[in-house]
């Protein structure tokens, strides 16, 4: 719970809806996980994408707004890492 004017920092894996080659980018991400970590973590990433209804940007942003928060900044980085700074209205 936030008081009006309170701020929330949210950092999560969020997939961009506006990309043309999302499946290719996901495959590259999983291969990078396998290279940087190990096969077990890469398998968990595959399960996350296929079975856990991974969050797309339009879903995350809608949930934030419906929660009564204003998105002040939204940054989407490499590896599908998204950072949101939000303020309670």
* 86 close to 10: Cβ distance less than 8 angstroms: yes
- Provide the pLDDT confidence category of residue 85 given band limits of 50, 70 and 90: very high
Taking residues 14-40, what's their average pLDDT? 87
Query: pTM surpassing 0.85?
Result: no
Q: Taking Cα atoms as reference points, which of 8, 25, 6, 27 lies closest to residue 89?
A: 6
Alpha carbons 2 and 69: distance in angstroms, whole number: 9
Tell which CATH classification among 3.40.50.150, 3.30.460.40, 3.60.70.12, 3.90.180.10 matches the domain 7-88: 3.40.50.150
Domain boundaries along the sequence of the chain: 7-88
CB-based contacts of 29: which residues, under 8 Å, 6+ apart?
45, 79, 80
75 compared with 41, residue with greater pLDDT: 75
């Amino acid at each position: 719970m936030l008081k009006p004017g309170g701020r929330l920092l949210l950092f999560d894996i969020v997939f961009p809806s506006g990309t043309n080659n999302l499946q290719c980018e996901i495959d590259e991400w999983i291969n990078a996980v396998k290279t940087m970590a190990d096969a077990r973590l890469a398998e968990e990433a595959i399960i996350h994408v296929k079975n856990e209804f991974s969050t797309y940007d339009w879903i995350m942003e809608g949930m934030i707004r419906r929660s009564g928060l204003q998105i002040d900044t939204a940054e989407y980085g490499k590896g599908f890492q998204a950072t949101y700074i939000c303020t309670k209205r």
